[in-house]
């Protein structure tokens, strides 16, 4: 019985770590964070996009 | 070779008046008082959400208030009072920073008052393609109802109803309300001087303007939003720093929280009140409170130099710039060339040449013409019967017609052609001499002007060459050396040929040069630099600069420039001074340095606070810990209150610094770091020891502590 | 006073030996982590494991490989522990209790090697060798692989998040580096008198007429990798204080050398991987500087030991082995806590209060001076990023490290890394010192008891594994608490490090100019050391004040 408990503890811990990996992956290339090129308040948006286009 | 141009840019110096006199950077009591209501409004926790550090302080203040109500004590009320003050000081800093922009915004708002506008009646097609818009009928409409694409007619004495481009006519316009420059500027259709700003006043003549902005999105609207800080978006570095400060806050929350239990184990129970006081002292409140004020003040510093950044991001990017693209004319050299010497052909005396040069330039009002007059000894009275022949693009010459004598000066090929047309042989000895002089002048980076004379109806003869020199601005070389020390490379952009460009580049001390540059060349150069991971800044005014301005990481458009250029860049310089780019870079760096310096100061302060509070907390349970009380504070209660008070007061003390920015001198990274570490790191270690000790001397006299 | 000459001498010998070997091993490591070619024996391994060693993994895949591999390790060791009595070579030992088996499994897979049991009285040879010794290699290899991935992330430009291949890194680390060196080291240890056999307990009659079971076993082989991989799990309970594990001052010095070899060499190889040796040297210098200070402090504390008895004995000798002397013990204590080894040749519970405080502080630094194999390097690099961020702002540019910009996302990851261990340590300590089950394990009360508990939690959270002694940790409460700390303290930071590696790999590498903060100059070395000390100091001063500091002052 106790064995199952610790096995579960291990599995849950690693599962959560795996979830963290997925979450960080999404966080690191979250398109919403990129500058919105249609936002008139941020003129550099176009510049940045152009930069990326130019660098590609 | 280029000919002297007859239209010249009205050059203004960097020190022309600021828009509104939000004068000195010294903080006045009046300023603080004016900012107080705004500061109190910002106490709303939702507002504080953006700065977690201050939110934690506010939560702490609420908690100690509750504790003091339930269990009143002098210590409790003092801590509570000063925790609230800490929060208020933080919001006050932001409010003061915003307040400085408010006055300016108010004067700009006056430009927005509704004015009647005369809109040209016609279909969209008509308005776009019809040539003579002035002949179409007009309707009177309120300026607020104008949309992009509408065309309006504005006459002398009227206010331009909206941003737009002049599509017909020439007028002098008073733009002082926007730029602070009192001299009127010329706005004309076509070319690079066609943009007009809504709210400015036409002084003479009549122009037809095609409106380019929608209501509420005009240049003045954007300016108002910027100077008020209402549209302020936090910049990448600010956000990153905020993350770091928040994580420090979390660490200290855990430290203080766990300390409650560890202290209980050690038999030295700590009240939540004292732990809250400790927490507030430890978390980086100094920088947390001043962070947004620093950002607003940075924008404000730009505005004071008459530069409008369209986003804070651009200001920060300016600090990161690696390469500066500088137009030769106006930035590196004075916009106009000046006569430096006269080179006569054999058989012509210097005096003869000088006289001819003087006469031909007497009526020439271009700076080049005036400089020739100055060179040969000053103006003389115009001979009777003289007719001035103005420069024209087709003849590429100017001069003076006297009875029986004709004088011409201009580009070598144009003058040679004229001389030849009067019957002079093409293979004359003077032609070879002139060519030699012309080549010599070009190679040294100058512009040759050839002078010729025709007496009666004889064939004209060549007299000599005037050497017009591009004069490199005073002190620009030193400025470039500073930039080099900062790790910034300068590239001079010029339409001159490679030989001329190289000569000027060497004189000015730039690192690189792009000669015979076309707009495409500029764009390609920027892309190349960016691919190498470097950030590029440039300034420009023409429509053909727009792609490069948009591509550059920092693009400063001249206010005199076209609407397209202004839209493409992320900053606008109201003075239209290309040298401003250097200031912009410095302000960007100063902004980052101020944040870094205050963060270091804030963290360094914690050391002294530990020495004040830890012995105070545990000296009852462990008398041995009294040796850590190096400041010899009078009592545990006084020590805690002194630390909290110091923590709050240091915010107020640093508001002026946050608004002004730390002193910045261009230097290499290592030198800057050493200096700032010494001042703000070491200073931050020592200052609180002195401050807390002094406060303790006063606070220990409070009865009940 | 007579000890001063040998003290300095042993440090000189150590520095000289490291000076000769670290650059060589650094080059070997850099080659292993960058060469596209496989050895024949490696190819066989890859085929057996059914992995493609040439696949350039995205950091996400790399991290999942690390986690998956480690999960299997934990489960296998847990099974070994629980089924010990049914396995061969068990020497008749019974199964470990559930919480103990779990704690041990986690402990060895996380390179912590915290031991709640007495090795010689609880574990059979199979468990010791196939379970623990194998994990000694593998857990060290995992740490080094992650550090290599991080270095590659910094070295690459526009790598689309790809950081290398975990399996290739792991196999190469073990086959090219750890196994050969451990083999040579084991032989040398045997020559120096360390035991190596597969026999059962040997019964001897004692002088007093009783009899005693002397357990021999494959000690030298485990000892070699125990030090080399900064594992620290001893064959015997007494660890490196046991004469079979560490018989002479000579073997003592050799073990210290083994502990320091790989962590320093990793820093060297880092410089080579990123293509600028000076960067590696700078990191190595900071590690060396911090270690030197702690060696000096502990040696001073132990030699000048307060109290009458230590003064008479010219040093605090309680809990120390006479054959190593104060200096040999102090050096070992500083090195084992400065790295995440946790092997001990002296009882840290008996160190003087300031000496024990420094040992504790060493671990609180986050195991960076020079730290565990691999983990020391990435831990130090994380602090380097923090330093660059703070100082980079002060030179007026968006901070960058090795041409990689430190923006919001990067700083979020670094903040998560820096937060993890302090939160584990402080929350864990608070729980341990509040719960009655936790308090029950403490031997002493007052400040020393606090130090015992904090030391245990710190040791587990930082994957050090050294025990302060005095704490009875073989209870379900302590086993579970410390096991959780070890697990989270190992893999949370690793995931964050790999994410940052991927992030850096994606970025272009910006050219350095006069405007960028140089990260190889002495100024940066001083700053990085300062940031390490200040950040850690500010976090732990209150705890230290209630433990070692108040103890030292009384």
Which tokens belong to A14? 């690693």
Main-chain phi, psi angles of B306, to 5 degrees: 65, 30
- The predicted structure's pLDDT at residue B231: 58
Quick check: B166 and B209 in contact, CB under 8 A? yes
Higher pLDDT, C137 or B412: C137
Q: Scan residues 434-463 of C and list those with Cβ closer than 8 Å to B.
A: 434, 439, 446-447, 449-450
Query: Is pLDDT of A34 > 50?
Result: no
Contacts of B484 in chain C (CB under 8 A): 514
Higher pLDDT, C392 or B645: B645
Please choose, from the candidates B490, B487, B485, the residue with its C-alpha nearest in 3D space to the C-alpha of residue B508: B490
For residue C241, being part of any structural domain is answered with no
Quick check: B532 and B514 in contact, CB under 8 A? no
- The predicted structure's pLDDT at residue B192: 65
Contacts of B673 in chain C (CB under 8 A): 391, 394-395, 517, 523
Contacts of C407 in chain B (CB under 8 A): 236-237, 240
Average pLDDT of the residues in C528-545: 93
- The predicted structure's pLDDT at residue C314: 65
Burial of C23 (0-12, 13-18, 19+ CB in 10 A): buried
Quick check: C497 and C371 in contact, CB under 8 A? no
Which has the minimum average pLDDT: B120-134, C46-60, C101-115? B120-134
- The predicted structure's pLDDT at residue B581: 82
Helix (H/G/I), strand (E/B), else coil: B397: strand
According to DSSP, the β-strands at B571-573 and B554-558 are: parallel
Average pLDDT of the residues in B75-96: 94
Helix (H/G/I), strand (E/B), else coil: C159: coil
pLDDT category, A35, cuts 50, 70, 90? very low
What is the spatial distance between Cα B318 and Cα B569, in angstroms, rounded to a whole number?
13
Closest residue in chain C to residue A30, using alpha carbons only = C409
Query: Is pLDDT of B434 > 80?
Result: yes
- The predicted structure's pLDDT at residue C387: 94
pLDDT category, B675, cuts 50, 70, 90? very high
Average pLDDT of the residues in C111-127: 83
Query: Is pLDDT of C362 > 50?
Result: yes
Average pLDDT of the residues in B341-361: 86
Q: Is C508 on the interface with A (CB under 8 A)?
A: yes
Q: Alpha helix (H) ranges present in B331-388?
A: 350-361, 367-375
- The predicted structure's pLDDT at residue B302: 85
Which has the minimum average pLDDT: C176-185, C396-405, C425-434? C396-405
- The predicted structure's pLDDT at residue A30: 56
Which has the minimum average pLDDT: B366-375, B509-518, C524-533, C539-548? B366-375
What beta strand segments (E) does B524-642 contain? 536-540, 554-558, 571-573
Please choose, from the candidates B253, B272, B289, B285, the residue with its C-alpha nearest in 3D space to the C-alpha of residue B64: B272
Which tokens belong to C428? 């864990």
Query: Is pLDDT of A45 > 70?
Result: no
Please choose, from the candidates C330, C270, C322, C319, the residue with its C-alpha nearest in 3D space to the C-alpha of residue C294: C330
Residue pLDDT, tens place only, B449-492: 888 888 888 888 888 898 888 788 778 888 888 888 878 888 98
Higher pLDDT, B120 or C533: C533
Query: Is pLDDT of C308 > 80?
Result: no
Neighbours of chain B (3+ CB pairs under 8 A): A, C
What is the spatial distance between Cα C485 and Cα C424, in angstroms, rounded to a whole number?
6
Which has the minimum average pLDDT: A17-31, B258-272, B488-502? B488-502
Rounded alpha-carbon distances, angstroms, from residue C60 to B418, C5, C116, C259, C318: 77, 52, 34, 31, 50
pLDDT category, A33, cuts 50, 70, 90? very low
CB contact under 8 A, C67 and A9: no
Share of chain B above pLDDT 70, in %: 92
- The predicted structure's pLDDT at residue C389: 93
- The predicted structure's pLDDT at residue B128: 67
Supply the range of the domain harboring residue C482.
375-553
Average pLDDT of the residues in C545-553: 92
Annotation says B205 is catalytic: no
Q: Scan residues 41-80 of C and list those with Cβ closer than 8 Å to A.
A: 59-60, 63-64, 67, 70-71, 74-75, 78
Quick check: B494 and B578 in contact, CB under 8 A? no
Quick check: C488 and C147 in contact, CB under 8 A? no
HEC string for C46-70: HHHHCCCCCCCEEHHHHHHHHHHHH
Query: Is pLDDT of B428 > 80?
Result: no
C-alpha distance from B556 to closest chain A C-alpha (Å): 12
Q: Is C539 on the interface with B (CB under 8 A)?
A: yes
Which has the minimum average pLDDT: B171-185, B409-423, C316-330? B171-185
For residue C415, being part of any structural domain is answered with yes
Across chain B, what does the average pLDDT equal?
84
Q: Determine how many CB atoms are found less than 10 A away from the CB of residue B7.
A: 10
User: Position of tokens 């490989």?
Assistant: C65
CB contact under 8 A, A47 and B311: no
For residue C124, being part of any structural domain is answered with no
- The predicted structure's pLDDT at residue C306: 66
Residue pLDDT, tens place only, B548-562: 888 999 998 887 777
End-to-end C-alpha distance for chain A, whole angstroms:
58
- The predicted structure's pLDDT at residue A43: 38
Higher pLDDT, B518 or C75: C75
Which residues are CB-contacts of B277 (< 8 A; sequence separation ≥ 6)? B64, B79, B83, B613, B640, B643, B644
The residue from B163, B165, B327, B541 that is catalytic is B327
What beta strand segments (E) does B288-370 contain? 307-309, 323-327, 333-344
Average pLDDT of the residues in B299-316: 82
Which has the minimum average pLDDT: A24-38, B458-472, C48-62, C237-251? A24-38
Rounded alpha-carbon distances, angstroms, from residue B101 to B173, B180, B594: 26, 15, 20
Which tokens belong to B354? 């000088």
Residue pLDDT, tens place only, B191-210: 667 788 888 888 888 888 88
Query: Is pLDDT of C20 > 70?
Result: yes
What is the spatial distance between Cα C542 and Cα C546, in angstroms, rounded to a whole number?
6
Which residues are CB-contacts of B478 (< 8 A; sequence separation ≥ 6)? none
For residue C422, being part of any structural domain is answered with yes
Most confident of B268-272, B498-502, B575-579: B268-272
What is the spatial distance between Cα B602 and Cα C538, in angstroms, rounded to a whole number?
12
Contacts of C64 in chain A (CB under 8 A): 18, 21
- The predicted structure's pLDDT at residue B235: 84
Quick check: B36 and B95 in contact, CB under 8 A? yes
Helix (H/G/I), strand (E/B), else coil: B104: helix
For residue C481, being part of any structural domain is answered with yes
Which residues are CB-contacts of C46 (< 8 A; sequence separation ≥ 6)? C38, C52, C53, C167, C168, C171
Query: Is pLDDT of C1 > 60?
Result: no
Contacts of A41 in chain B (CB under 8 A): 231, 233, 310-311
What beta strand segments (E) does B46-178 contain? 116-120, 138-142, 151-155, 164-168, 170-174
Which residues are CB-contacts of C21 (< 8 A; sequence separation ≥ 6)? C261, C265
Helix axes B498-508, B429-443, angle to 10 degrees: 40
What is the spatial distance between Cα C380 and Cα C263, in angstroms, rounded to a whole number?
11
Which residues on adjacent β-strands are paired with residue B482? none
- The predicted structure's pLDDT at residue B564: 79
Which has the minimum average pLDDT: B68-72, B153-157, B425-429? B425-429
Please choose, from the candidates C415, C496, C489, the residue with its C-alpha nearest in 3D space to the C-alpha of residue B247: C415
Query: Is pLDDT of C537 > 60?
Result: yes
- The predicted structure's pLDDT at residue B132: 66
Which residues on adjacent β-strands are paired with residue C400? C405
Q: Is C161 on the interface with A (CB under 8 A)?
A: yes
Which tokens belong to C376? 């020391």
- The predicted structure's pLDDT at residue C167: 97
For residue C286, being part of any structural domain is answered with no
Quick check: C400 and C510 in contact, CB under 8 A? yes
Query: Is pLDDT of B113 > 80?
Result: no
For residue C87, being part of any structural domain is answered with no
pLDDT category, C515, cuts 50, 70, 90? confident
Query: Is pLDDT of B646 > 60?
Result: yes
- The predicted structure's pLDDT at residue C404: 92
Number of domains forming the structure of chain C: 1
Higher pLDDT, C396 or C388: C388
Which residues are CB-contacts of C201 (< 8 A; sequence separation ≥ 6)? C91, C213, C214, C215, C216
Which residues are CB-contacts of B443 (< 8 A; sequence separation ≥ 6)? B499, B500, B503
What is the spatial distance between Cα B295 and Cα B62, in angstroms, rounded to a whole number?
28
Across chain C, what does the average pLDDT equal?
91
What is the spatial distance between Cα C467 and Cα C452, in angstroms, rounded to a whole number?
9
Average pLDDT of the residues in B171-175: 85
For residue C526, being part of any structural domain is answered with yes
- The predicted structure's pLDDT at residue C434: 95
Which has the minimum average pLDDT: B399-408, C196-205, C234-243? C196-205
* Residue pairs spanning A and B at CB distance below 8 A: 42
Which residues on adjacent β-strands are paired with residue C204? C212
Average pLDDT of the residues in C76-89: 88
Residue pLDDT, tens place only, B17-48: 333 333 444 567 888 888 899 899 999 999 89
User: Position of tokens 């030198």?
Assistant: B671
* CA dihedral (B205, B209, B213, B214) positive or negative: positive
Question: To 5 degrees, how large is the angle CA C365–CA C228–CA C469?
Answer: 55
């Amino acid at each position: 019985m106790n064995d199952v408990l610790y096995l579960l503890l291990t599995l849950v811990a690693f599962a959560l770590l795996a979830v963290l990996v997925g979450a960080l992956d999404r966080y690191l290339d979250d398109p919403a964070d990129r500058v919105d090129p249609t936002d008139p308040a941020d003129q550099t948006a176009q510049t940045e996009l152009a930069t990326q286009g130019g660098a590609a | 070779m280029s000919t002297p141009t007859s239209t010249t840019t009205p050059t203004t110096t960097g020190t022309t008046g600021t828009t509104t006199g939000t004068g000195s950077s010294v903080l006045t009591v009046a300023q603080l008082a004016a900012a107080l209501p705004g500061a109190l409004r910002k106490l709303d926790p939702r507002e504080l959400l953006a700065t977690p550090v201050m939110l934690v302080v506010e939560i702490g203040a609420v908690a100690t208030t509750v504790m003091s109500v339930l269990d009143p004590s002098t210590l409790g009320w003092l801590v509570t009072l000063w925790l609230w003050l800490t929060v208020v000081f933080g919001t006050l800093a932001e409010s003061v920073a915003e307040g400085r922009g408010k006055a300016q915004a108010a004067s700009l708002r006056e430009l927005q008052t509704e004015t009647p506008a005369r809109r040209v009646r016609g279909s969209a097609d008509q308005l776009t393609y019809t040539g003579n818009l002035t002949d179409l009928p007009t309707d009177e409409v309120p300026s607020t109802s104008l949309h992009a694409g509408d065309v309006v007619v504005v006459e002398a004495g009227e206010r331009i109803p909206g941003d737009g481009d002049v599509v017909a006519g020439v007028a002098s316009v008073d733009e002082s309300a926007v730029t602070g420059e009192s001299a009127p500027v010329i706005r004309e259709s076509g070319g690079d001087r066609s943009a007009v700003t809504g709210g400015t006043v036409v002084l003479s003549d009549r122009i037809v303007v095609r409106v380019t902005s929608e209501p509420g999105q005009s240049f003045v609207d954007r300016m108002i939003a910027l100077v008020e800080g209402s549209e302020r978006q936090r910049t990448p570095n600010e956000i990153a720093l905020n993350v770091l400060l928040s994580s420090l806050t979390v660490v200290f929350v855990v430290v203080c929280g766990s300390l409650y239990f560890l202290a209980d184990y050690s038999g030295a129970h700590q009240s939540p009140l004292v732990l809250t006081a400790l927490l507030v002292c430890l978390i980086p409140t100094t920088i947390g409170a001043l962070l947004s004020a620093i950002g607003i003040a940075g924008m404000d510093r730009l505005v004071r130099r008459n530069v409008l950044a369209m986003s804070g991001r651009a200001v920060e990017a300016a600090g990161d710039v690696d390469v500066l693209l500088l137009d030769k004319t106006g930035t590196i050299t004075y916009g106009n060339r000046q006569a430096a010497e006269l080179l006569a052909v054999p058989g012509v005396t210097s005096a003869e040449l000088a006289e001819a040069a003087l006469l031909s330039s007497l009526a020439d009002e271009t700076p080049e013409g005036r400089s020739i007059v100055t060179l040969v000894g000053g103006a003389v009275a115009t001979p009777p019967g003289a007719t001035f022949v103005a420069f024209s693009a087709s003849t590429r010459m100017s001069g003076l017609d006297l009875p029986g004598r004709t004088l011409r000066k201009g580009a070598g090929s144009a003058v040679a052609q004229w001389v030849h047309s009067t019957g002079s042989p093409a293979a004359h000895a003077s032609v070879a001499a002139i060519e030699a002089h012309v080549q010599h002048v070009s190679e040294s980076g100058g512009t040759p002007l050839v002078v010729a004379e025709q007496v009666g109806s004889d064939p004209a003869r060549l007299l000599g060459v005037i050497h017009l020199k591009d004069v490199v601005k005073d002190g620009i070389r030193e400025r470039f050396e500073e930039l080099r020390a900062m790790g910034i490379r300068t590239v001079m952009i010029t339409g001159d040929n490679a030989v001329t460009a190289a000569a000027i580049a060497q004189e000015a001390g730039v690192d690189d040069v792009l000669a015979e540059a076309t707009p495409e060349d500029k764009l390609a150069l920027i892309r190349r630099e960016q691919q190498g991971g470097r950030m590029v800044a440039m300034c420009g005014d023409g429509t053909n600069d727009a792609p490069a301005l948009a591509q550059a990481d920092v693009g400063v458009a001249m206010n005199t420039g076209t609407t397209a250029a202004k839209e493409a860049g992320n900053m606008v310089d109201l003075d239209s001074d290309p040298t401003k780019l250097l200031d912009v870079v410095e302000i960007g760096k100063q902004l980052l340095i101020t944040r870094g310096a205050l963060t270091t100061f804030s963290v360094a302060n914690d050391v002294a606070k530990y020495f004040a509070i830890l012995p105070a907390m545990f000296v009852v349970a462990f008398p041995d810990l009294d040796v850590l009380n190096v400041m010899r504070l009078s009592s545990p209660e006084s020590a805690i209150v002194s630390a909290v008070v110091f923590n709050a007061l240091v915010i107020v003390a640093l508001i002026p610094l946050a608004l002004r920015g730390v002193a910045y001198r261009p230097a290499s990274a290592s030198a800057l770091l050493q200096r700032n570490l010494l001042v703000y790191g070491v200073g931050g270690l020592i200052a609180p020891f002195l401050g807390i000790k002094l406060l303790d001397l006063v606070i220990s006299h409070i009865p009940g502590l | 006073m007579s000890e001063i000459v040998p003290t300095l001498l042993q440090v000189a010998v150590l520095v000289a030996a490291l000076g000769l070997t670290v650059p060589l091993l650094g080059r070997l490591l850099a080659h292993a982590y960058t060469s596209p070619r496989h050895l024949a024996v490696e190819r066989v391994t890859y085929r057996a494991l059914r992995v493609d060693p040439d696949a350039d993994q995205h950091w996400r895949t790399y991290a999942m490989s690390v986690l998956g591999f480690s999960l299997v390790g934990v489960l296998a060791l847990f099974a070994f522990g629980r089924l010990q009595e049914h396995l061969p070579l068990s020497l008749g030992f019974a199964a470990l209790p559930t919480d103990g088996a779990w704690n041990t499994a986690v402990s060895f897979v996380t390179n912590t090697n915290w031991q709640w049991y007495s090795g010689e009285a609880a574990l059979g040879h199979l468990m010791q060798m196939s379970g623990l010794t194998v994990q000694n290699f593998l857990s060290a290899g995992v740490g080094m692989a992650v550090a290599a991935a991080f270095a590659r992330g910094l070295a690459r430009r526009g790598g689309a998040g790809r950081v290398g291949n975990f399996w290739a890194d792991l196999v190469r680390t073990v086959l090219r580096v750890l196994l050969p060196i451990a083999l040579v080291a084991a032989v040398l240890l045997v020559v120096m008198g360390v035991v190596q056999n597969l026999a059962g307990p040997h019964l001897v009659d004692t002088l007093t007429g009783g009899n005693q079971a002397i357990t021999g076993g494959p000690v030298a082989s485990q000892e070699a990798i125990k030090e080399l991989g900064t594992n620290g799990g001893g064959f015997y309970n007494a660890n490196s204080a046991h004469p079979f594990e560490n018989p002479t001052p000579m073997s003592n010095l050799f073990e210290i050398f083994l502990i320091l070899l790989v962590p320093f060499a990793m820093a060297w190889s880092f410089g080579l991987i990123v293509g600028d040796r000076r960067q590696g040297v700078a990191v190595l210098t900071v590690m060396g500087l911090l270690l030197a200070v702690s060696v000096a402090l502990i040696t001073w504390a132990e030699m000048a030991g307060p109290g009458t008895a230590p003064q008479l004995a010219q040093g605090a000798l309680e809990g120390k082995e006479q054959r190593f002397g104060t200096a040999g013990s102090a050096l070992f204590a500083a090195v084992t806590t400065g790295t995440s080894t946790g092997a001990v040749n002296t009882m840290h519970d008996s160190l003087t209060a300031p000496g024990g405080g420094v040992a504790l502080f060493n671990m609180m630094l986050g195991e960076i001076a020079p730290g565990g194999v691999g983990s020391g390097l990435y831990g130090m690099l994380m602090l380097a990023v923090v330093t660059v961020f703070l100082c980079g702002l002060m030179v007026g540019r968006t901070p960058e490290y090795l041409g990689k910009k430190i923006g919001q996302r990067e700083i979020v990851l670094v903040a998560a890394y820096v937060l993890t261990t302090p939160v584990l340590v402080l929350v864990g300590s608070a729980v341990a010192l509040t719960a009655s089950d936790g308090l029950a394990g403490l031997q002493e009360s007052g400040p020393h008891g606090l130090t015992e508990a904090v030391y245990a939690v710190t040791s587990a959270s930082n994957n050090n594994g050294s025990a302060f002694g005095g704490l009875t940790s073989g209870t379900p409460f302590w086993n579970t608490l410390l096991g959780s700390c070890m697990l989270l303290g190992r893999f949370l930071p690793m995931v964050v490090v790999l994410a940052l590696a991927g992030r850096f790999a994606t970025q272009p590498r910006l050219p350095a100019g006069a405007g960028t903060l140089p990260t190889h100059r002495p100024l940066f070395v001083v700053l990085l050391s300062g940031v390490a000390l200040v950040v850690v100091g500010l976090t732990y001063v209150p705890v230290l004040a209630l433990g070692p500091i108040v103890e030292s002052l009384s």
